[in-house]
Amino acid sequence: TKGCKLVGSGSAAPTLRVSNDDLAKIVDTNDEWISVRTGIRNRRILSGKDSLISLSVEAARKALQMAEVEPDDVDLILMCTSTPEDLFGSAPQIQKALRCKTNPLAYDITAACSGFVLGLVSAACHIRGGGFQNVLIIGADSLSRYVDWTDRGTCILFGDAAGAVLVQACDSKDDGLFSFDLHSDGDGQRHLNAAIKENEVDHALGSNGSILGFPPRRSSYSCIQMNGKEVFRFAVRCVPQSIESALEKAGLTVSSIDWLLLHQANQRILDAVATRLEVPPERIISNLANYGNTSAASIPLALDEAIRSGKVKPGHTIATAGFGAGLTWGSAIIRW
């Protein structure tokens, strides 16, 4: 079988920075509560001319530059997002903005905070089974658009950002995507969702659609609803198991990983998972103090910062895991 390796990374965040003190002006909270319970101090929020597409394109360009790959040589773009700027998908708009003349396939993957790990899996499948060479994976979300800004239990947690990696086909001896472990539990949706709201509307064809014979509907999404304690428990229970099983599939143990790179939801979740796995604190990658929970963007954003700061070095092995709404969760053992 063919190998797949990570050859570039990039990231981008909106310019507007919102601190805990800023949030204390709009909801009954304070910096200490937020810092102690979550580790978050600032988050970036889309405003002005920024868009999810513009952030994604910036992150993608940086990843391509690092990899020294031209947009025309990309043959697949995977946009992992749950907040697309078009209900039908955002990936083709990224392809357009990157000016890929070869019209590579571009599509969205919707799996909330697990989106990026699912993107890695999809890239590996396309490379190993479909003959693809250069797959651009983007994780990007703008949950700020779906947050209830009067709910102090959720609005303090989230931020907007985009991260990207380029995965390239290679010889199997250079393989950098070792193993995956993936799960879902639809029963847990009640603990975390932004579900569709169906509003029956009067229609030009007659009140309640009497002429059509059925009531026409118009839909929108509700704000994020979350039972924080249940989500916390779910993450701390399921993520260590998943990482252990991915390590086992790769024939590795916890002692062989250089970094633990979890979805950046909450510092207490990161610490609890590391404790259960017996990973020492200095091997945890964390940047959530600056960005909050950026959903599908959080893993590639933190990875990119760690690569560019020299923390993650070529040859390092990383255990990464996404978890969140769906519920979905999954791990990947990767090498930079």
Catalytic residues: 113, 263, 293
Q: How far is the CB of 239 from ligand ACO (least distance, A)?
A: 11
Q: How far is the CB of 169 from ligand ACO (least distance, A)?
A: 31
Helices 52-67, 298-308: inter-axial angle, 10-degree rounding: 40
Name the residue among 282, 274, 286, 293 with its Cα closest to residue 231.
Answer: 293
Please name the residues in contact with 51: beta carbons below 8 A apart, sequence gap of 6 or more: 85
Q: Which single residue brings its beta carbon nearest to ligand ACO?
A: 324
Residues in contact with ligand ACO, total (CB under 6 A)?
Answer: 23
Region binding ligand ACO by CB under 6 A among candidate stretches 7-15, 31-39, 130-138, 167-175: 31-39
Provide the residue count of the chain. Answer: 336
The letter for the amino acid at 41 is R
Q: How far is the CB of 156 from ligand ACO (least distance, A)?
A: 5
Separation CA 319–CA 172 (nearest Å): 20
Tokens of 34: 């937020």
- Choose, by CB under 6 A, the member of 325, 332, 333, 334 that binds ligand ACO: 325
Q: How far is the CB of 242 from ligand ACO (least distance, A)?
A: 15
- Choose, by CB under 6 A, the member of 232, 276, 308, 311 that binds ligand ACO: 232
- Choose, by CB under 6 A, the member of 13, 156, 239, 306 that binds ligand ACO: 156
Q: How far is the CB of 281 from ligand ACO (least distance, A)?
A: 19
Helix (H) or strand (E) holding 221: strand 217-221
323 pairs with which residues across the strands? 329
- By beta-carbon proximity to ligand ACO, the closer residue of 101 and 229 is 229
Q: Does 152 interact with ligand ACO (rule: CB under 6 A)? A: yes
Separation CA 185–CA 130 (nearest Å): 29
Separation CA 142–CA 147 (nearest Å): 10
- Choose, by CB under 6 A, the member of 45, 60, 64, 112 that binds ligand ACO: 112
Binding to ligand ACO by CB under 6 A, coded x per residue (else -) over 70-89, reads: --------------------
Q: Does 144 interact with ligand ACO (rule: CB under 6 A)? A: no
Separation CA 3–CA 175 (nearest Å): 4
- By beta-carbon proximity to ligand ACO, the closer residue of 110 and 133 is 110
- By beta-carbon proximity to ligand ACO, the closer residue of 30 and 172 is 30
The single residue listed with the structure tokens 């978890």 is 323
Please name the residues in contact with 18: beta carbons below 8 A apart, sequence gap of 6 or more: 42, 43, 44, 45, 159
Rg of the chain over all Cα atoms, to the nearest angstrom: 20
Q: Does 324 interact with ligand ACO (rule: CB under 6 A)? A: yes
- Choose, by CB under 6 A, the member of 63, 69, 113, 169 that binds ligand ACO: 113
Binding to ligand ACO by CB under 6 A, coded x per residue (else -) over 188-227, reads: ----x---------------------------------x-
Q: How far is the CB of 204 from ligand ACO (least distance, A)?
A: 38
Residue 278: Cβ-neighbour burial (10 angstroms; 0-12, 13-18, 19+): exposed
- The secondary structure of residue 315, as a DSSP letter, is T
Separation CA 141–CA 51 (nearest Å): 10
- By beta-carbon proximity to ligand ACO, the closer residue of 176 and 324 is 324
Binding to ligand ACO by CB under 6 A, coded x per residue (else -) over 276-295, reads: -----------------x-x
CB contact at 8 A, 258 and 283: yes
Residues 157, 158, 162, 167: is their CA dihedral positive or negative? positive
Query: Does a cis peptide bond (omega within 30 degrees of 0) precede residue 277?
Result: no
- By beta-carbon proximity to ligand ACO, the closer residue of 20 and 317 is 20
Which residues of the shown chain bind ligand ACO in the complex (CB under 6 A)? 29, 33-34, 37-38, 112-113, 152-153, 156-157, 192, 226, 228-229, 231-232, 265-266, 293, 295, 324-325
